[in-house]
Chains A and B, each alone.
Chain A
Amino acid sequence: MSGYVELHARSAFSFLRGASLPEDLIQAAMNVELPAVALLDRDGVYGAPRFYGSAQENHLAVRPRVGAEITMEDGSVLPLLVATRTGYQNLCQLITETKLTPRLPGCGAIPDLPPGVGPQERKRPCFATWSELARFSAGLIALTGDEEGPVRRAWRTAGSVAAGAALRKISAIFGPERLYVELQRQRVRGEEREIRFLIDLATTHQLPLLATGGVNYAVAEHRIVADVFTCLRLHTTLDAAGRQLEPNSHRHMKSAEEMRALFHDRPEAVENSVRLEQRLEFTLENLGYEFPTYTTPHGESMDAFLRETTFACVPNRLRGQALPEKILVQLNKELELIAKLKFSGYFLIVWDICDWARKRGILVQGRGSAANSAVCYMLGITAVNPVKHRLLFDRFLNDSRVGRDGKPSWPDIDLDFPSGERRESVIQEVYQRYGRRGAAMTANVITYRGRSTVREVGKILGFGDDALDRFSSLYANGDFPETLQLQQQLAMSGIAAQHPRAEAMVKLHHYFSRALPRHLGQHSGGMVICQGQLDKVVPLEPATMPDRSVCQWDKDDCENLGIVKIDFLGLGMMAVMQDTIELCAKRSDGPHTLDDIPPDDKTTYEKICAADTVGVFQIESRAQMATLPRFKPKDIYDLAMQVAIVRPGPITGNLVHPLIRRRDGIEKEEYIDPSVEHLLRPILERTKGVILFQEQMIELSMALANFTGAEAEELRRAMGFVRNPGRLAGALKKLAAALRKAGRNENVVKRVTESAMSFAAYGFPESHAIGFAMIAYASTWLKLNRTAEFYASLLNNQPMGFYSPATLIQDGRRHDMNANPVCICSSRWECTVEDQKSIRIGLRYVKGLHEATARGMLTARDGRPFDSMDDFLRRSNFTAAERRALAAVGAFDALARHRRAALWEVEAAWSDDESLFKHFAETYREDSPLAAMSKAEQLRADFAVLNLTVEEHPMAFLRSRLSDVTCAKDLAEIKTGTRVTIAGSVICRQRPGTAQGFVFISLEDETGIANAVVVPALFERLRLIITQEPALRITGVVQNVSKVIHVKAYKIEPLREVDLPAQSSHDFH
C-alpha cells in the first residue's frame, strides 16, 4: 500500500493556474505509484472527464477522485472533495449557481464593474456565498486550503484570531466530520511557522490534519508553464512579476515516500489522506445522467408511438409510392433494435425537433451516421435512402456497442440547419422545452496554438511587438508541417538562436503546443439535454452569446461519459438552398422543394467533371477542383467518393491516385492481399479495393480481425479522437493483435493498420459523404439551372464558402448572369432576382449602411417611388456618410446624371440637425460642376464601398499594359512545359498539410482563375511577398495533366498597379 494519496491537485483546466494536462497528472501519479488522486480545478470540473478517461485507459491504476476549488465571496478559495453522488450533484449545482447568478456590482470581494464591460468580463464575478455553500454542502468534504484558502489567507492578512474565525465559519457548515485542516510543505523558508499555527488550530478545534502536495503541475519541468500562466493571469511579464512567480519547482506530484519524509513530524497527516480517500465513493463512472423521455400524445408507449409515426411518414417520404419490401424489413429490424435498446424516446425527440423546424419552413437534414438508418430517413431526419445506397446500419446502431459507462452506446444524430437566425430559433426552442438548466451547449476548449502561442508567450518573455508581428505574418496557423524549425522561424522574425531567451521560448512553445487549454468557448452546435436537471450532471456557465448557456465539458467528454449530444449545425449552403427555393416559388418550373430537383441530371455531372463548381457545396475548393476532372464523378456515389477522397487522411494514405487509376482501368484492383480478397471484395468493391469510408473500416475489422460490433466501434472512435494519439495507438495495437490471432499474414496486418492510421481524424462515414454529395449535387444543379436565384441567395448568405463575393460575381458573369449595380430605386436590402438571367445587388453590400435606415427608406419607396434626388433626400434619413457611399457606387444613377453629380447633390442635403427643416425648405439646385468618374475611378469606388464590382474584373482594364501576361482561360490551350506569366488578384493561398510544404496560389483575372504551384524553397525565400501582396505576377511552366492546369512558379513578383483594387483572399499558409 502506498500510504499516501494526493487530494489537492490542479490541472491546466483551472485556466491560467495549473500547468499540466489531466492526463499528465495521471501519468505522474502512476510514475510515483499513487493509488488515487483528486483533481480540484478552480470553479469547475472542466478537466474531470479527461482525468477520469485517462485513468480508465490505464485500467484505473489511479483512482480519479473529483472535487473543485470554489472561490468564495470574500475572495478566498475553498477546496471541496466529492464524497457521494449527492455531493457531486451539489458541487455541480453550486458551481452553476456561482456562474449563472448575476452578482450585483460591489457585492463581495469582486470589484465594481465599469459600465459597458464585455460579456467575457461579465462572466468574471463568479463566487459562492457562504449561504449557497451551506445549501449545497451535503456529500462534500472541505479542506481548509492552501495559501488562498480562507484560514491561511486570514492568518496571513489579519492574524491568528481572524484565522480561527474563518475556520469556525467553515466548521459551522461541514462540522468536524467533513472538515480537514490542510498542511502543505512547499520547501519555502518560513513556512514552518504557519504550519505550527495550523497544527495548533487543528488541535484546538479537534480537527484532523491532512497533508497534500498542493500540486500545480505534474512534473517539476512544468513549473515554467505555471510561471507564464501567472504572468498571463496578472497581465504582467516575467521580468516584472517578481515574487509572484513560484520560488521553486516543488508543487509537482510526489510519492508517498517523499510526502512521508516531508511530514515526518506529522505522519498522521499523510495517513489521513488514505483514510479520507476511502470515504470518497464517487467517480464519474456513476454520473447518473438520463436522457429525457418523450411524452406521447395519448399515453401510448414510446416504442409504439415511434413505430406509428415512422409508418405514418412513409407516404410523404416515398411520394405516394408503395413501401418496398426491403425497406419494410429494414424498418422493422431497426424499430425492434431501437425498442430493445430503449432509444425510442431519443428518436422521437429528434424527430419532434425536425418536425417543429419543418413546420416553420426551416430546412433540416441529418448528417453523419444517422443517414444509415431507414427510420431516420422515413422520419425525415435524414435525406439519404440507406437501402438504395446499401448503407451499413451497424455503423449507426448495434446492440453490441457499449459505451465507457457500460450502457448501450447512444447513436449519433447531427442535424444541419440553415445557418443564422433559423438555426438559432431551433436552439432557443430546445432551451424553451428543457429549461435553462436542463439543456446547454457543449463547450469547446480553445487551446494554445501556433502563432498565438508565440505571440502570447513572447510578450510574457519580453520580446518586442515588431518581432512577434513579423512572426505572425510569416507563419500562419494550420495543420501543415512547417518546413522550418521553430528556432529558424524565430530567427527569420528577428529573434536569433543566440538570444538569451530564445531557448526558453522554444521550450515553452513545446509545452504550450501540447494543446494546453486557453479558455472555454462553445461548440458550434452541440447541445446536451437531460431528464432531470442538467446542472446536477455538469456545471453550466453563461455563454458569450446572449440567451445561451454552456456546460463545462466538450463534446468528446460528453460522449465518453454517455451524455447524449445532438448537433444543431449551421450550414451556409442549407441557407442558400432554402433561400434559392423560396426565390423559385414564383417560377412555375420550381423547384418548390429539394425533392423537386431532378436526381441524375447529365449536364450537372458534366459541369462537375469540368470543375465548374465555384460557389457550390464542398467541391468548390481548389483541391477538389483539381481532382474533379480526373475523378469524373457520374452519380451520387461517385460524388460521395469525391467528397471523401480530397481529405488529408486519404491523401496521406496515397489513395487518390490508386482509386482514380483503378476507376480508369489503368491499375488493377487490389484487395490488400490475395489471401483476404474473398472477404474484402464485398466490402471494398465499390471503392475498387481502397478503404475510403469508416463503415468499410468497421466491416473490415469485423471480417478480418473478428472484432465484435463494440470493438469495431471503439476502433472507429479512437480513429476520430484527435486529441489523444495514445488512444489510437492502443486501438491499432489491439487491431494488429486481433488480425494476427485471426491468422492474417503480416502484409495484411501492416496494410490494414497503415490504412487505419492514415484515416484517423479524417475518415468520412459513407452515409455522411452521401449526404454531403447530395447537397453538392443539388447546389450545382441550382447554380446551373436557377443561376440568378442561386447567386442572389449565395450573395445574401456571405460570408461562407471558399470565394469572396467579388469572385462569385465574376463567376456569375461567366455563366451569363448579369449583376446589376446597387440602385436606390430598385435594390432591396438583400440581393434580388430581376429576371432569370440577372440579379440586383442589395443595399446590404454598401459598407457602413445601417439596416434600419435602409429599411425605412424601402418602406417609403414602397409607398411611392422616388421621382428625384430631392424627393429621395426628403423621404430618407441616411447620414451624410451613408449618402456619400451610395452616391459613390452609382446608387443614384437613376436620379442623377452620373456618380459625381450625385455626390455633389447629396452633399447639399440637410444635415442631421436640420432634419425637420428639410420638409419645408425650398429646393435650390445648381448643376454639378464636377466631371464624371473615369472607369478606373468607378472601379476603385466600387471596391472601396462594396468590396466588389458588377463591371468587368479590374484586370481587364490593365490588360493592355500586360502584353506578356497570359489570361487564365488561355492556359488550357498551352502545351505542358511552356513558359508563361500569369497575373491577377490573389484570391487564395494554400499550403495543405499533405503537400509537403508546396504552396498553391490562385490568381483571378477577367477570364477566370489561374492556379500556380510554388515549391517550398521558393516559398520560404519569398514568403512575405507571397503572403502579403494582394496581387501577383507569376512566371513559370505550364503543367496540364488531365485538364488540371497549374503553373509551376519560378519567379514571383508583386503586381503593383494602382488601378487594381485589393481583393480579399482565402488563405491557409
Chain B
Amino acid sequence: MFAVLHLADFALQAVLRTEPAIGLRPAALFSGHVRKSLVISINSAARASGVELGMTAPQAVARCPPLVIRAPLPAAEKEARAALLAVGFTLSPLIEDTAPGVCTIDLKGADAEKLVAFAQAAVDELTRVGLTSTAGIASTPLLALYAARTAFRRPTDGDLTRDRPAAASAHAITKKSTSKNTLASPLKPAAVVHVTDPASFLSPLPLSAADPSMELSGVLASWGVRTLGDLTALPRDEIVRRFGAEGLALWQRAAGGSNRPLHPVVPPQTFSAEMEFEQEIETLEPLLFILRRFLERLALELQTAHSVAAELEFTLKLEDDTTHSLRLRLPEPTLDLEILFRALHTHLESLRTEKSIAAVQLRLTPTRPLVRQQGLFETGLLDPHGFAETMARVMALVGPDHVGTPELEDTHRPDAVKLVAPHAVIPPPANAPVHPLLGLPLRRFRPPLAARLEFTEGRATYLWTEQVHGDISVQQGPWPKSGHWWQNDRAWARLEWDIELAGGGVYRLLRVGEVYFLEGEYD
C-alpha cells in the first residue's frame, strides 16, 4: 500500500505559513516574473469573494478589495517541502518527493488496520508545523494521490472543492457510481481517504485529477469530457489513435494507473534551514516565528535520523549585506523543541541590529558531527579558533556592524563606505590607471569640526574651529555635490572648498545647508 501526503495550493500555503498575521484573510498568489502578473493560487476566503485563477491583480482586487497579494517565495517553498518530507519520514524510510506539495510513502509492511490512523497522525503533525494537508491511501501511488487530492481540507486553507467530483448530469457521458471507499471518520469529512474500490472511486473524479497536458485538457474540455469516468468510457484505441502515447498515458492514468517503484529520497545529512525575506524584518516576533518553524522541521529530521542537536548556529543577514552570526553550544544535547527555541529566544531578545533583517539561516549540529577533510587548495588561519575568539571580542566592543573591510560605495557622496566581509579570494591587481591619482592625502576629522567663518566682501577671510583657526590666505572651489534627491530622508547636498591658512595648513572646508565644517586636513 501507498500513502500520499498532499499540500494543496502548495506555493500559497508555503508563503502564508511564514506570515501568521494573514490568518484567515483572503489571499492570492500571483505569478511573479511575467509582464502582467496573474492569479495562480488562492485560498478559500479569496475564492468565496469571487477571485478566480488567471485574473489580473486589479481584477482580483475589484472583486475582493482586502485581498492579500503575494508572489511565490522559493525559500518558503523549499522550507515547506523539507517539512513535508520530514513528516513523511515519520511514516516510512521509503518516501518519494513526487512533486511540490506531494510526498508518496511506501507503507509496505505496515499494519493494514492502522494505515488510516498513521496517515491521520501525519496530517496532524503537518498541521502542527503550519501546513494543511490531506492524505490518501491506496494500492498504487497514483490512486493514493487521487485520494489525497479528493480528501477534505478545512475551508480556511485553500480549497479542494474544485477538484472534488462534480455532478455529472450535465456531461456528455455519464456513469453512475456508488462509493464504497472509506473515510477516516464517518461523522465528519475526513482529511484521509482510503481507497478500497478503485473503480467507483475514480469514475466521478474531475479530469484534472489525472494531470492532462494543457493542450489535451483543452481538447477534451471541448469534447465535453469532464471526469475520469467520461474519459475511460471512450474507446481506448480511439483515444490512442487521436492522441498517441500521450493519450494512452492519460487514459491509463484515468483508469487508476499501475504500480511503480518510488524514487526514494535520501534522509537529510545536514540539518539546516534558511530563508530570505521578501520584505526585511524589523521586529523580533516574525523572526522568532520563522525560527520556530525551522526548529519544528529540523527536530523532526533529527528525530528520523536518530540524532539530537548539540549546537545551534544561526546567521542573520542584514539589509546592508552585513551578517550577524551566533553559535550556541547547548549545555546538553537535546531534541526538545521548547529548549531549542528558548535558547534562541534568549539570545535574540538582547540583540539590536542597526539594519533590518533580510535573511536568516539556522543550522543544528547533531551529536555525531561530520568529519570534514580540509581541501587541498584551501588556505586557512593558523589558529582559526583563536581568530574567531578575537573577532568575537572585537565585535563585542565595537558592535557587529562595525567589523569588516571598508569598501567605497558607488556614489558621488564623499567618504561613503560600507563594510563588507573580506574577500575569500584576493582579486587580481587592476591595470595601472591612465592618470594616477595626484594630490595630497586628506586626513579626515571624524566627525567634521564645526566651523565659523568671517567674510569680507563676500569672500571667506577667517576660519575658526575648536582645533584650528586663522586667516584664510588662499581658497579654491566651491565644488558642489548632491545626490539621493529621490528619497526625502536620504537626500544630501554639500559645497566643498580647499583653503590654506595664513599660518600654514591646507584644509577642506565643507558647507551643508547653512552650516560650515572643516572636513579634514591635507597632509
B434/A1056 in contact, CB under 8 A: no
Closest Cβ of chain B to A316, distance in Å, is 55
Closest Cβ of chain A to B233, distance in Å, is 8
Chain A binding site: helix, strand, loop or mixed by DSSP?
Answer: helix
A470-B37 contact given A884-B222, A900-B172, A931-B172, CB 8 Å threshold: no
B235/A187 in contact, CB under 8 A: no
A931/B412 in contact, CB under 8 A: no
Q: For the complex, give the distance between the alpha carbons of A662 and B139 in Å.
A: 88
* CB of B63 closer than 8 Å to a CB of A: yes
Q: Which chain A positions have C-beta within 8 A of B488?
A: 500-501, 503-504
Closest Cβ of chain B to A863, distance in Å, is 29
Closest to B482 in A: A248
B412/A243 in contact, CB under 8 A: yes
Which of A395-403, A818-826, A1022-1030 binds B? A1022-1030
B223/A903 in contact, CB under 8 A: yes
Closest to B508 in A: A189
Q: For the complex, give the distance between the alpha carbons of A568 and B351 in Å.
A: 73
* CB of B268 closer than 8 Å to a CB of A: no
* CB of A726 closer than 8 Å to a CB of B: no
Closest Cβ of chain B to A889, distance in Å, is 11
* CB of B377 closer than 8 Å to a CB of A: no
Candidates A156, A188, A888; contact of B222 at CB < 8 Å:
A888
B490/A933 in contact, CB under 8 A: no
Q: Which chain B positions have C-beta within 8 A of A224?
A: 485-486
Q: Which chain A positions have C-beta within 8 A of B69?
A: 466
Candidates B59, B478, B481, B496; contact of A1028 at CB < 8 Å:
B59
* CB of B281 closer than 8 Å to a CB of A: no
* CB of B479 closer than 8 Å to a CB of A: yes
* CB of A329 closer than 8 Å to a CB of B: no
Q: Which chain B positions have C-beta within 8 A of A474?
A: 58
A504/B59 in contact, CB under 8 A: no
* CB of A937 closer than 8 Å to a CB of B: yes
Q: Which chain A positions have C-beta within 8 A of B235?
A: 926, 929
* CB of B50 closer than 8 Å to a CB of A: yes
Q: Which of A913-969 contact B (CB under 8 A)?
A: 926, 929-931, 933-934, 937, 941
Q: For the complex, give the distance between the alpha carbons of A507 and B45 in Å.
A: 40
A504/B487 in contact, CB under 8 A: yes
B434/A156 in contact, CB under 8 A: yes
Closest Cβ of chain B to A464, distance in Å, is 10
Q: For the complex, give the distance between the alpha carbons of A243 and B412 in Å.
A: 6
A933/B61 in contact, CB under 8 A: no
* CB of B286 closer than 8 Å to a CB of A: no
Closest to A931 in B: B172
Q: How large is the interface on B (under 10, 10 to 19, 20 to 34, 35 or more residues)?
A: 35 or more
Q: For the complex, give the distance between the alpha carbons of A664 and B71 in Å.
A: 62
* CB of A175 closer than 8 Å to a CB of B: no
B478/A187 in contact, CB under 8 A: yes
Closest to A464 in B: B71
* CB of A84 closer than 8 Å to a CB of B: no
B172/A470 in contact, CB under 8 A: no
* CB of A729 closer than 8 Å to a CB of B: no
A929-B50 contact given A242-B410, A249-B480, CB 8 Å threshold: no
A245-B412 contact given A900-B172, A900-B224, CB 8 Å threshold: yes
* CB of A247 closer than 8 Å to a CB of B: yes
A 385-427 binary contact with B (CB < 8 Å = 1; else 0): 0000000000000000000000000000000000000000000
Candidates A187, A193, A470, A933; contact of B480 at CB < 8 Å:
A187
Q: For the complex, give the distance between the alpha carbons of A931 and B243 in Å.
A: 20
A930/B481 in contact, CB under 8 A: no
Q: Which chain A positions have C-beta within 8 A of B241?
A: 908
* CB of A289 closer than 8 Å to a CB of B: no
* CB of B242 closer than 8 Å to a CB of A: yes
A473/B56 in contact, CB under 8 A: yes
Q: Which chain B positions have C-beta within 8 A of A1029?
A: 59, 62
A159/B173 in contact, CB under 8 A: no
B58/A1024 in contact, CB under 8 A: yes
* CB of A456 closer than 8 Å to a CB of B: no
Q: For the complex, give the distance between the alpha carbons of A465 and B478 in Å.
A: 41
* CB of A904 closer than 8 Å to a CB of B: yes
A501/B434 in contact, CB under 8 A: no
Candidates A247, A503, A888, A908; contact of B242 at CB < 8 Å:
A908
Q: For the complex, give the distance between the alpha carbons of A555 and B488 in Å.
A: 42
A189-B487 contact given A926-B238, A1024-B62, CB 8 Å threshold: no
* CB of A238 closer than 8 Å to a CB of B: yes
Closest to B62 in A: A1024
Q: Which chain A positions have C-beta within 8 A of B57?
A: 466, 469-470, 473
Closest Cβ of chain A to B377, distance in Å, is 34
Q: For the complex, give the distance between the alpha carbons of A445 and B36 in Å.
A: 27
A500/B489 in contact, CB under 8 A: yes
B173/A884 in contact, CB under 8 A: no
A1025/B238 in contact, CB under 8 A: no
Closest to B490 in A: A500
Q: Which chain B positions have C-beta within 8 A of A437?
A: none
B224/A937 in contact, CB under 8 A: yes
Q: Which chain A positions have C-beta within 8 A of B410?
A: 242-243
How many A residues, CB 8 Å from partner? 51
Q: Which chain A positions have C-beta within 8 A of B63?
A: 1025, 1054
Q: For the complex, give the distance between the alpha carbons of A46 and B416 in Å.
A: 40
* CB of B234 closer than 8 Å to a CB of A: yes
Closest to A1026 in B: B62
A930-B56 contact given A187-B480, A500-B490, A503-B488, CB 8 Å threshold: no
Closest to A502 in B: B488
Closest to A933 in B: B224
Q: For the complex, give the distance between the alpha carbons of A838 and B435 in Å.
A: 83
* CB of A907 closer than 8 Å to a CB of B: yes
* CB of B438 closer than 8 Å to a CB of A: yes
A 239-251 binary contact with B (CB < 8 Å = 1; else 0): 0001101011110
Closest Cβ of chain B to A185, distance in Å, is 10
Q: Which chain B positions have C-beta within 8 A of A666?
A: none
Q: Which of A446-471 contact B (CB under 8 A)?
A: 461, 465-466, 469-470
Q: Which chain A positions have C-beta within 8 A of B59?
A: 1024, 1028-1029
Closest to A191 in B: B479
Q: Which chain A positions have C-beta within 8 A of B265?
A: none
Q: For the complex, give the distance between the alpha carbons of A900 and B57 in Å.
A: 35
B224/A931 in contact, CB under 8 A: yes
Q: Which chain B positions have C-beta within 8 A of A500?
A: 487-490
* CB of A322 closer than 8 Å to a CB of B: no
Among A248, A937, A1025, max chain B CB count under 10 A is at A248
* CB of B155 closer than 8 Å to a CB of A: no
A243/B411 in contact, CB under 8 A: yes
A 208-250 binary contact with B (CB < 8 Å = 1; else 0): 0000000000000000100100000000001000110101111
* CB of B399 closer than 8 Å to a CB of A: no
* CB of B121 closer than 8 Å to a CB of A: no
Closest to A508 in B: B486
Q: Which chain B positions have C-beta within 8 A of A188?
A: 479
Q: Which chain B positions have C-beta within 8 A of A189?
A: 479, 496
B 217-255 binary contact with A (CB < 8 Å = 1; else 0): 001001110000000011100100111000000000000
Closest Cβ of chain B to A74, distance in Å, is 17
Among B57, B58, B238, B242, max chain A CB count under 10 A is at B58
* CB of B483 closer than 8 Å to a CB of A: yes
Closest Cβ of chain B to A56, distance in Å, is 35
A1056/B50 in contact, CB under 8 A: yes
Q: Which chain B positions have C-beta within 8 A of A934?
A: 170
B224/A930 in contact, CB under 8 A: yes
Closest Cβ of chain A to B85, distance in Å, is 32
Q: For the complex, give the distance between the alpha carbons of A868 and B76 in Å.
A: 57
Q: For the complex, give the distance between the alpha carbons of A1010 and B108 in Å.
A: 67
**Apart from A242-B410, A243-B411, A248-B412: 10 A-B pairs, beta carbons within 8 A:** A158-B434, A187-B478, A187-B480, A224-B485, A242-B411, A247-B483, A248-B481, A461-B486, A907-B242, A1028-B58
Which 3 pairs from chain A and chain B are nearest by CB? Answer: A242-B410, A473-B58, A1024-B62
**Can you list 11 residue pairs at the A/B interface with Cβ under 8 Å?**
A188-B479, A469-B56, A470-B58, A501-B488, A903-B219, A907-B219, A930-B172, A933-B224, A1024-B58, A1024-B59, A1024-B65
